[in-house]
Chain A
Amino acid sequence: MKRYVYADNAATTPVSREVVDAMMPYLTEKWGNPSSLHAKGREAAIALEDARSRIAACLGADAKEMFFTSCGSEADNWAIKGAAYAGKKKGKTHIITSAIEHHAALHACAALEKDGFTVTYLGVDDKGIVSIDELKAAITDKTALVSVMLANNEIGTIEPIAEIAKIAHEHGALMFTDAVQAIGNIPVNVKELGVDMLALSGHKIHAPKGIGALYIKKGVRIDNLIDGGGQERSKRGGTENMPYIVGLATAMESAIARLPEMAKVAELRDYLMDSLLAKVPYSTLNGPRGDARLPGNVNIGFEFIEGESMLLLLDYEGIACSTGSACSSASLDPSHVLLAIGVPHERAHGSLRLSISNETTKDDADYILEKLPPIIQRLRDMSPLYEEVSKEEK
């Protein structure tokens, strides 16, 4: 029987049984609108506030600081645009972000640039760590917001958010972090991070796609993105997506409960990463090692070949992963993250991301180690770039 190894958990995760079970009553008998005053509505309102409290508890936040959104991208857009437009009223028209943010955050900043804001994109070192020196040089009293992700989705770099937040606050700027990739992989506490806003997404932690949340610290005022009928304490219009919100609460609690397993995931990550680097010549690790890296993230550049071809051949073998190659996206530029850490274009095209989880077994890793090297060799044998190298070797 053909194996199936899902090594693309940074893209999305399967909805867990317990999340489905938690959601079901809110798709069937408990279908009330939490804004309704009658019994059906009250039943939903109680569940809504229960979910909010449970999610807040997972982050060390107060329930009144949690706001539900339709996804992580909405939370990113709301935090960034909301803080920017709130800042503008006080004469602050400068935003600082990093060069390796998720496109939801990067493109929100690009939209603000078109609307007259100035945006500084902080560079990163070769491991993807944001430059504190550049931050200190760029920040002024005109800076409305500093937006840096907690952990990078492509190369797994964990950023020094607490340190960045401290600098932001010293200059009167708000601090936002996109924690979509971090939640469930590393402990996330809004107080320890010292952030004003934090975004999360359900489908990276076994809840369905289409649910996210934004933490907004008490006392922090940002503009609304979606105006409506007074839901979410008049900060985010739209009838609350009850089944998904309840599912998100269950998923968050399970994600926190799984954290002790992450040391084992990191061990498997290192095994997979080191074995691939040892087995395949002309391969390089992208991103940091050890605790500075998300426990499930492996990202390796294989020279002389292109990522999409690798991905498609791995798919034939039942292995699901992703690549930073231009050819895998509609943009046709290789990953902005890999370019930002100084990976040359040609090697960025040959990068492969394997994102494993607590459900990945050693057998799964061994299956990848069995199937991937011959695929790389097959593509190299077809590559005119490798031809020149193998000639030089002979």
Chain B
Amino acid sequence: MSMLYSEQVMDHFAHPRNVGVIENADGIGEIGNAKCGDIMKMYLKIENNIIVDVKFKTFGCGAAVATSSMATEMIKGKSVDDALALTNKAVIEALGGLPAVKVHCSVLAEEAVKCALADYYKKQGIDHPVIKEAEEIMGHDDDHEHEIPEE
């Protein structure tokens, strides 16, 4: 099984974009747990339905950092609806692929974005389907499986 990272993964790991926190963020999402070895926390600043700023902090491996970094790049400046449509597959594609055992990192990145958006809607007092989705994500997060898909 190859553990080699693509050039894009190494670039985003070595030079992660958008690391940090946003004070008074409009939406915060945190996913993963220390036991499994990866936690992502994402902060969103949203104006007129546009994600004007995004920051993240990640505890995890090279792929966890790279997928967080790439996910923030992919939603920055985009509409909330575009961000909701972000998939882990799109993150993997943008990174030029991930080793099979690291695919779960991209899932966490997608989930971190969804949780941050759910938090945003909650704070706005808007009932949006992503809130329920985020609750489900958080619910299964404690025992989230590191499923290794077939190559």
> What is the interface of chain A, defined by CB distance below 8 A to chain B?
304-309, 312-313, 316, 325-328, 330, 332, 334, 345-346, 349, 381-387
Q: Choose among A312, A330, A385 the residue that contacts B59 (Cβ–Cβ < 8 A).
A: A385
**In the bound complex, CA of A93 to CA of B60 (Å):** 43
B137 within 8 A of A: no
- Which residues of A lie under 8 Å from residue B59 when comparing CB positions? 304-306, 382-386
B30-A384 in contact (CB<8A) = yes
Contact A306 B60 (CB under 8 A): yes
Residues from chain B with a CB closer than 8 A to the CB of A313 are 14
Residue B13, interface by CB 8 Å: yes
For B41, what are the chain A residues with a Cβ–Cβ distance below 8 Å? Answer: 384, 387
Q: Secondary structure of the A side of the interface?
A: helix
Contact between A327 and B1, CB atoms less than 8 A apart: no
Q: Which residues of A contact B77 (CB under 8 A)?
A: none
**Closest CB of chain B to A259's CB: distance in Å?**
35
Q: Which residue of B lies closest to A304 (CB)?
A: B59
Q: Are B14 and A345 in contact (CB under 8 A)?
A: no
**B91 CB contacts on chain A under 8 angstroms:** none
Q: Which of B1, B3, B10, B57 contacts A384 (CB 8 A)?
A: B57
| Separation of A383 and B34 alpha carbons in the complex (Å) | 11
Given A384-B59, A387-B21: 6 more A-B contacts, CB < 8 Å: A308-B61, A312-B10, A325-B61, A334-B37, A384-B30, A384-B41
Contact B16 A316 (CB under 8 A): no
B35 CB within 8 Å of chain A: yes
Which B10-58 residues have a C-beta within 8 angstroms of A? Answer: 10, 13-14, 16, 19, 21, 30, 34-41, 57-58
Which residues of the other chain, B, contact A382 by a CB distance below 8 angstroms? 16, 19, 57-59, 65
A384 to B65, Cβ gap below 8 A?
Answer: no
Instruction: Give 25 pairs: A residue, B residue, CB < 8 Å, sorted on A.
Output: A306-B60, A306-B64, A307-B61, A309-B60, A309-B62, A312-B62, A325-B37, A326-B36, A326-B37, A327-B37, A327-B38, A327-B60, A327-B62, A327-B102, A330-B101, A332-B146, A345-B36, A345-B37, A346-B34, A381-B19, A382-B19, A384-B41, A385-B34, A385-B59, A387-B41
